[in-house]
Amino acid sequence: MITIRSEKEIELIRQSGRILAGALRLAESRIAAGLVTGELDTEIAAYIRAQGGTPAFKGYNGYPANTCISIDAQVVHGIPGHRALQEGEIVSVDVGVLLHGYYSDAARTFAVGAVDAEKQRLMQVTRASLDKGIAAAIEGNRLSDIGHAVQSHVEAAGFSVVRDLVGHGIGQAMHEEPQIPNYGVPGQGPRLKEGMVLAIEPMVNAGGWQVRTLEDGWTVVTADSKPSAHYEHTVAIRKGAAEILTLE
């Protein structure tokens, strides 16, 4: 069952999302060649706590870090550690925040210095596909309209959407119903209703859509070792345009 949130609940998620947006802005200000991913993880966690929130990923299903930091061919769930960023890489930073019992979830992909044209276009297309998915997330549409909008934009650009990982409902738990694939035919699934809160998150590969998980049990990488990008917002369904809750 997909929960319909009250305006009070949406406001609490919005407050959590503002902290998250600030954490991603901090990440953007720090991304540079030589930055150690574990140091960024520590800084983001400190920022979230200073704002009164809790890093939501730490300990979630045993996850060992505060954030997910995924580089180049790493799609999602990259574990921050001793690795230093290098010029020309792209890095996806995924953050969750718990505040007053409510969760928010968002991600952005950043360039480390100057990146090649393919990576630039991959980032642009992935971000635009998130915008397309959010534009489809309005009351009266069907759930599959979101994934169809994402897939159509991505594949028209010659890239691939990851099929093994999906967006999700969010609120009093990090992952709630429904699952939100980033592909599919339109007009299928539950009808969207005002008050639903969803985390929409295209994961887009420069090559094929296939992925695999590394031996650490967390880090998901592209099967063909080509780069991947990831953008995500938590949004509330409205009668008109969806409301993005992970903004400052």
Which distant-in-sequence residues (6+ apart) come within 8 Å of 240 by Cβ? 138
String of DSSP letters for 146-186: HHHHHHHHHHHTT-EE-SS--EEE-SSSSSEEEEE-S---S
Confidence (pLDDT) at 72: 98
Which distant-in-sequence residues (6+ apart) come within 8 Å of 72 by Cβ? 89, 90, 91, 227, 228
Every domain of the chain and the residues it spans: 7-244
Instruction: For residue 246, count CB atoms less than 10 angstroms from its CB and return exposed for 0-12, middle for 13-18, buried for 19 or more.
Output: buried
pLDDT digits (tens, 9 = 90+) for 68-107: 999 999 999 999 999 999 999 999 999 999 999 999 999 9
Which DSSP symbol is given to 36? B
Average pLDDT over residues 31-36: 98
pLDDT digits (tens, 9 = 90+) for 188-214: 999 999 999 999 999 999 999 999 999
What's the count of helices (H) and strands (E) in the chain, helices before strands?
4, 15
Confidence (pLDDT) at 28: 98
Whole-number Å distance between alpha carbons of 219 and 236: 29
Q: Would you say how long the chain is, in residues?
A: 248
Whole-number Å distance between alpha carbons of 158 and 155: 5
Whole-number Å distance between alpha carbons of 5 and 74: 34
Q: Which CATH class is domain 7-244?
A: alpha beta
pLDDT digits (tens, 9 = 90+) for 109-154: 999 999 999 999 999 999 999 999 999 999 999 999 999 999 999 9
Averaged confidence pLDDT in the chain: 98
